[in-house]
Amino acid sequence: MRIKALLMAIVLIFFGPLANSAALSIDASAAIVMDVESGRVLYGNNIHQRRPMASLTKKMTALLAAESGRLDEIITIRPEWIAVEASNIWLIPGEMITLRSLVYGLMLRSGNDAAQTIAYFLAGSLPDFSVQMNNRAQNLGAMNTNFVNPHGLHHPDHFSSAYDLALIARAVLKDPFLRVVVRTERFAVRQDAIEAPRIWHNKNRLLQIKAGADGIKTGWTRAAGHCLASSATYSGWQLLCIVLNSPDHYGETLALLQWGFANFRPHLMVQRGLFKGYVAVVGGQPAYIGVVAAHDYWWVQAKSEESAPLMTVELPTSVRPPLFALQKIGELLIEFNGEIVGRVPLLSDQASRERSWLRFLARHIVSYAKFVLWPLVHIT
């Protein structure tokens, strides 16, 4: 199977893109390719099917750790926290280590002891941490996901889908700290009272075998099979890929990523600062303000696609002061095939203060006085 997938990747490289996804031969039970920037699904097979996810679970554990704001806090390891079967990074009771270093051990070496330590440290118990994991998954739109532990050891009520795991991977790649972690090939952490540091090498071999690969996480259990969450960047454009229960997780991932880069192209639809109209400010000074796009919006489109997304400006007919510069006024909706695929906030391009009637009256008195006195001033 590995030879077949690698041959497919070679064909893509040297003979150009395949006409469509039907030409791909992928044996993974579920697979997806997603554009990281827009979230558009470029390829999918059984993407909403609930399946065991093995250590791809740890992406959510890492995400909660990164978002906790406690990365530089020092943790003293307790024996009950590390009572879990391997794979482990072999933490020692009484050892002191930062949460930041634990995340590296979690993601590079897939440490189950690191996962449990993070859960206990952040939530006090595994069930409470699972609640946090599920809440965050719901927030991301991962509706076919349920976590019962932070590491991914098999449990019948612990499952996700390729699509949900892609949503979580996308959140990981958008986090500045985790974006660095998942592309790190080697990390050294000092051990207490020992001169030699721990050296952790990333288990994700895709980082060594594909140029541009920059993440994310490997996974395996007997029930889940070989799983891989991966990402790669080409000319500033990043795709992610999930394969679940794949007979050749590296080979099939290479083929899927290469297919995505060969068959699609990113297009800048909205540029940051793009002017999108005026809004009246009732009782404001000035009485009208412009609105501009808050950020760039890129859309990935197949080379064979002729239709493009539609853009709709949603703005109130009027607003009231005071308004600050760069205050959100409305939205630019991006729609494709009847579905909202993106939203860009529209911001005020300047401030507008409440018009003072005293100032208004004074300005008109001054104007009237200038009008009345103008003949006298200009008599020669």
Annotation says 55 is catalytic: yes
pLDDT of residue 376: 65
Q: What angle do CA 343, 175, 295 make, to 5 degrees?
A: 30
pLDDT of residue 41: 96
Residue that the structure tokens 């906030």 belong to: 345
Contact residues for 273 (Cβ-Cβ < 8 A; gap 6+): 292, 293
Contact residues for 60 (Cβ-Cβ < 8 A; gap 6+): 133, 136, 137, 147, 150, 168
Alpha helices in the chain (DSSP H): 2-15, 58-67, 99-108, 112-123, 126-140, 162-174, 176-181, 206-209, 249-263, 357-377
Residue of 55, 160, 161, 352 marked catalytic: 55
Token digits of residue 301: 């489109």
Token digits of residue 232: 């790669």
Per residue of the chain (380 residues), give pLDDT as tens: 444 444 444 434 433 344 366 568 899 999 999 999 999 999 999 999 999 999 999 999 999 999 999 999 999 999 999 999 999 999 999 999 999 999 999 999 999 999 999 999 999 999 999 999 999 999 999 999 999 999 999 999 999 999 999 999 999 999 999 999 999 999 999 876 566 788 999 999 999 999 999 999 999 999 999 999 999 999 999 999 999 999 999 999 999 999 999 999 999 999 999 999 999 999 999 999 999 999 999 999 998 888 889 999 999 999 999 999 999 999 999 999 899 999 999 999 999 998 876 666 666 687 777 777 766 655 54
Annotation says 4 is catalytic: no
**How is residue 54 annotated by DSSP?**
G
pLDDT of residue 193: 58
Cβ burial, residue 222 (10 Å; 0-12/13-18/19+): exposed
Q: Terminal CA-to-CA distance of the chain, rounded, Å?
A: 101
List of domains in the chain:
2-265 (3.40.710.10), 271-354 (2.60.410.10)
Is the peptide bond preceding residue 286 cis, with omega within 30 degrees of 0?
yes
d(CA 377, CA 379): 6
Residue of 29, 38, 101, 110 marked catalytic: 110
- The CB density around residue 295, as the number of other CB atoms within 10 Å, is 11
Annotation says 29 is catalytic: no
